[in-house]
């Protein structure tokens, strides 16, 4: 895919969604951190239901760090891997409270040192809270990058690095959310909605389909 086509793709996505952002509910950076940790292998809708209960009990790092593990589990038991996630967010809350004065650190290495926080979660926080031009490659972005030939790669890190290289600078800050939302609602895993896709005329997925049918 050439640079001109990539620019047009992001331009169309940006025009269709002029203010892209996360669909996780949060009021503070700490709450978003907890929500993103919980979102692994779970829908944002499920996380929002769980965090509604959790944040009503404990809205900041200090309060959450003082909860019993069983109290946290009862709030988030409807989401996948809730027992492991409960331990991670309890330990993370304790570290944020005692080591960082209740503030989420603006540093990749420090973020990735927290329980339950990997590169993808750190990228989300750096991008959404600190406005850094990072791209967290989730299942939607990985699918789109390969499906439409935007930034093909055989693993998430390669796709991330390729996207960081080829995404036009003016769209880097919003690329993460633009691609996720497009993958979530239009370029879905099964039966992508090509007929109503805003990049339909630019997409190389159709080319692949034509080659396969010949």
**Chain segment 136-156, per-residue pLDDT in tens:** 999 999 999 999 999 999 999
pLDDT at 213 over 70: no
Domain with 2, as residue range(s), is 1-214
Q: Which residues are catalytic?
A: 120, 138
Q: How many Å apart are CA 80 and CA 21, to the nearest integer?
A: 24
pLDDT at 116 over 80: yes
Q: Give the model's confidence band at 214: pLDDT under 50 very low, under 70 low, under 90 confident, else very high.
A: very low
pLDDT at 210 over 90: no
- Residue 208's pLDDT is what? 56
- Residue 209's pLDDT is what? 54
Evaluated on CA atoms 93, 96, 99, 103, the torsion sign reads: negative
Q: How many Å apart are CA 181 and CA 13, to the nearest integer?
A: 9
Mean pLDDT of the chain: 94
- Residue 8's pLDDT is what? 97
Give the number of C-alpha atoms closer than 13 A to the C-alpha of residue 17, restricted to the C-beta side.
Answer: 22
Q: How many Å apart are CA 81 and CA 106, to the nearest integer?
A: 27
Q: How many Å apart are CA 94 and CA 192, to the nearest integer?
A: 42
Q: Measured between alpha carbons, how far is residue 98 from residues 34, 70, 125, 126 in Å?
A: 16, 21, 20, 21
- Residue 100's pLDDT is what? 97
pLDDT in tens, 26-75: 999 999 999 999 999 899 999 999 999 999 999 999 999 999 999 999 99
- Residue 205's pLDDT is what? 86
> What are the φ and ψ backbone dihedral angles of 20, each rounded to 5 degrees?
-70, 140
Q: What is the CATH number of the domain that holds 167?
A: 1.10.340.30
pLDDT at 113 over 90: yes
Number of domains in the chain: 1
Q: How many CB atoms lie within 10 A of CB 89?
A: 27
Evaluated on CA atoms 92, 55, 125, 88, the torsion sign reads: positive
Residue 131 region, left (φ>0) first, then alpha (ψ -120 to 50), else beta? left
């Amino acid at each position: 895919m050439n640079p001109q086509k990539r620019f047009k793709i992001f331009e169309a996505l940006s025009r269709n969604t002029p203010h892209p952002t996360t669909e996780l509910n949060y009021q503070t950076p700490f709450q978003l951190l907890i929500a993103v940790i919980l979102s692994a292998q779970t829908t944002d809708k499920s996380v929002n239901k769980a965090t509604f209960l959790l944040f009503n009990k404990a809205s900041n790092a200090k309060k959450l760090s003082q909860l019993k593990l069983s109290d946290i589990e009862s709030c988030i038991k409807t989401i996948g891997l809730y027992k492991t996630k409960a331990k991670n967010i309890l330990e993370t809350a304790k570290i944020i409270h005692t080591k960082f004065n209740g503030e989420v650190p603006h540093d990749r290495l420090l973020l990735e040192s927290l329980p339950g926080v990997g590169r993808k979660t750190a990228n989300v926080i750096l991008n959404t809270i600190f406005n850094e031009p990072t791209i967290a490659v989730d299942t939607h972005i990985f699918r789109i990058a390969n499906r439409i030939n935007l930034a093909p790669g055989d693993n998430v890190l390669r796709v991330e690095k390729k996207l960081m290289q080829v995404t036009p600078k003016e769209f880097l800050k919003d690329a993460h959310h633009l691609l996720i939302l497009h993958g979530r609602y239009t370029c879905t895993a099964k039966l992508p909605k090509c007929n109503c896709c805003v990049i339909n005329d630019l997409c190389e997925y159709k080319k692949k389909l034509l080659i396969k049918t010949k």
